[in-house]
Structure 1
Amino acid sequence: MQAVKCVVVGDNTADKTLLLTSFTRDIFPGEYIPTVFLNYLVNVTVDGKSINLGLWDTAGQEASFENVRKKWYPEVKHHCPHTPIILVGTKLDLRNDTSVIEKLRQQKLAPITSLQGEEMRKKIGAVKYLECSALTKEGLKTVFEEAIRACRRSKPTA
């Protein structure tokens, strides 16, 4: 069985732990969970092949979309220069939430659009931009399937 390691990095409000908990345990905790998600192994089938998927959570930092380009991309490329990157927009369920939109508007902000996510993907050279919701599970399975596919397409370097 092929093994794939998936490390989830991002800002502290990106819901990395919720993403992993929702995917691995098929539950959505109703409250904030600090990063206590231990490394987790799950067996999945992608394109008819069994995969041993190792999931690793990381502690986040101050939140900003620009951190993708300024902090996370350089860090991943430094530590894992040949690893394919999937850029994931989380909290998809909040994009059309009027109370969230109003709170962001008061801070002169707006939800990140799919187009902005795709533009950032191109800037950092990520292989895919995907969106998901840990709450509704929309796109959740696809995120991990595409991460596995990207790893399987990637050729190891000597």
Structure 2
Amino acid sequence: AVKRDQSITQPQKWLLQLSSTSPSPTIYLHLPRPVRSSSPRHSRIEGFTSLTVRAIRCVVVGDGAVGKTCLLISYTTNKFPSEYVPTVFDNYAVTVMIGDEPYTLGLFDTAGQEDYDRLRPLSYPQTDVFLVCFSVTSPASFENVREKWFPEVHHHCPGVPCLIVGTQTDLRDDPSVRDKLGKQKMTPVRKEDGERMAKELGAVKYVECSALTQYKLKDVFDEVSCAPSLLLDPYLQDLPKQAIVAALEPPQTK
């Protein structure tokens, strides 16, 4: 595992796509004292064969083509995908050291198409937090947050917190997008609309971003790291957010 002691004064997130040849990186955070060890779920990871590692699971859901995969790829690679390929299932992971305790943070991408409605919930068990995504250029995907996605995740995982994420904010003021929506007597989803829905549905928070420009992209995952169910130790609740967010630059390749 990549072990690197780095200051958290300028945190940079980094997640690696899981593969048989790529071990999970290890990230060290500087906290005043180690976290107490108690968690209902544990996993074993390479580099910590003698340690029990606590797992944190985040699942990303939402309509097809709203930018869920672009969200993860842009965040983890700093590159924007050149073409759209519908996702069936994909996952990313990072090992985070909080005090002396290792955590595995997993991000799970899912397919939004109706064809996968029966397959998708197989990724829901033991989820700690959901990212429920919609495109700000698609009022239909926004309405589906209320009509489909919140009912679905709360049916399978009652009580698990959700963050509502508005994607593709770089297109909100695009003339062609506004013209296309205008012909249907619609407008892009406003930030206030997202915040109102989050309050009505009891979401942890509404956040929005652009995977293309990376505007507010990091903020989305900062919120994931600080979602209520992820604070596995009461001590963490009193820490500043930047002390919980992982900090690691991508490993250098020769």
Moved more, 35-44 or 139-148: 35-44
**Letter of the 1:69 counterpart:** R
**C-alpha displacement at 1:119, in angstroms?**
0.9
Decide whether the 8 Å contact of 1:87 with 1:121 is kept in 2. Answer: yes
Q: TM-score, normalised by structure 2?
A: 0.55
Question: Is residue 115 from structure 1 mapped to residue 180 from structure 2 by the alignment?
Answer: no
Moved more, 1-10 or 115-124: 1-10
**Letter of the 2:186 counterpart:** L
Corresponding position of 2:63: 11
Identity of aligned residues (%): 56
**Letter of the 1:20 counterpart:** L
Moved more, 15-24 or 36-45: 36-45
Alpha-carbon distance between aligned partners in 1 of 2:60 and 2:141, rounded to the nearest angstrom: 16
Q: For structure 2, which runs of at least 5 residues remain unmatched after alignment?
A: 1-52, 115-139, 234-254
Over 3 Å counting, the alpha-carbon distance change for 1:107 and 1:43 in structure 2 is farther
Decide whether the 8 Å contact of 1:17 with 1:37 is kept in 2. Answer: no
**C-alpha displacement at 1:30, in angstroms?**
2.1
Over 3 Å counting, the alpha-carbon distance change for 1:154 and 1:69 in structure 2 is farther
More helix by share: 1
Equivalent runs, 1:66-85 vs 2, <5 Å: 66-85=143-162
Alpha-carbon distance between aligned partners in 2 of 1:16 and 1:4, rounded to the nearest angstrom: 19
**Letter of the 1:112 counterpart:** V
**Letter of the 2:141 counterpart:** S
Aligned residue pair count: 153
Equivalent runs, 1:51-90 vs 2, <5 Å: 51-61=103-113, 63-90=140-167
Corresponding position of 1:38: 90
Question: Is residue 152 from structure 1 mapped to residue 230 from structure 2 by the alignment?
Answer: yes
**Letter of the 1:117 counterpart:** G
**Letter of the 1:92 counterpart:** T
Corresponding position of 1:25: 77
Q: TM-score, normalised by structure 1?
A: 0.86
Q: What value does the CA root-mean-square deviation take over the aligned residues? A: 2.3
Q: For structure 1, which runs of at least 5 residues remain unmatched after alignment?
A: none
Alpha-carbon distance between aligned partners in 2 of 1:84 and 1:126, rounded to the nearest angstrom: 7
Corresponding position of 1:97: 174
Alpha-carbon distance between aligned partners in 2 of 1:101 and 1:45, rounded to the nearest angstrom: 45
Alpha-carbon distance between aligned partners in 2 of 1:5 and 1:88, rounded to the nearest angstrom: 17
